[in-house]
Amino acid sequence: MFSSILSPVAYGALRAIRNLSFTLALPFSVASAAYAEPVTVFALGDSLTAGYGLPEAEGLVPQLNAWLAERGAEVTVLNGGVSGDTSAGGLSRLGWSLTPEVDALIVTLGGNDLLRGLQPSVTRNNIEAILQEAQSRDLPVLLIGMEAPGNFGPAYKTAFDQLYVELAAQYDALLIESYFRLIDPAATDPGQLSPFMQADGIHPNAQGVQRAVENLGPRILELVAQID
């Protein structure tokens, strides 16, 4: 699925040609995402990205691709979600996931770290390593965070929630502080999200995903605008 027949040299030439075409084109419009060639974005994540519990067409990535296509954006998001994956799991498969055709990266990891009660420092180290790898490849990143529940204590919650904010600032990544606030930015209590969640209370239903995509889509266009 992620293999490529392009050599690194050929890939570099291809990107150079595309970038030259972009430079000579009319001024860039984020709404139209008007690139000389289609853009590929890799979505690295867990079950929230994979579309757990939903028919394939109703998952996050298919709905996001449909949203982009409806707006004339020649952007394809690849589904790199693995249900149950921790930040360590995402890091372990990052190298072979970032094939030459990938132009940008979405990172949505940390939910399973929370479910396992891993220390925020562990999650921070893994996500920082992911951002470092993306930076070394000159890939713009959209980092989507998680919010820790209060039952781990205020110190844990502060450390976990802030790691996304701090790492995004350090590595110049776009940031969405909380995945679930994409569903309802005004929600102040998890119970307010229940109409948009599956029975497990963890994963969004199709309507919840649709709401998330409506808020996520414009940020993907913003991400695409950063591609050199």
The CA distance from 175 to 81, in Å, is 19
Terminal-to-terminal C-alpha distance of the chain: 25
Q: Extract the tokens encoding 5.
A: 């027949």
47 is catalytic: yes
Q: Of the residues 3, 136, 189, 200, which is catalytic?
A: 200
138 is catalytic: no
Amino acid (one-letter) located at 55 = P
Has 200 been annotated as catalytic?
Answer: yes
Active-site pick, 46, 47, 103, 113: 47
Q: 141 forms bridges with which residues in the sheet?
A: 105
CB-count exposure of residue 76 (10 Å: 0-12, 13-18, 19+): middle
* Distances 96 to 44, 48, 82, 112, 207 between C-alpha atoms, Å: 12, 21, 14, 22, 33
List beta partners, residue 117.
none
Positive or negative, the CA dihedral 144, 98, 54, 47 is: negative
As annotated, the active-site residues are: 47, 200, 203
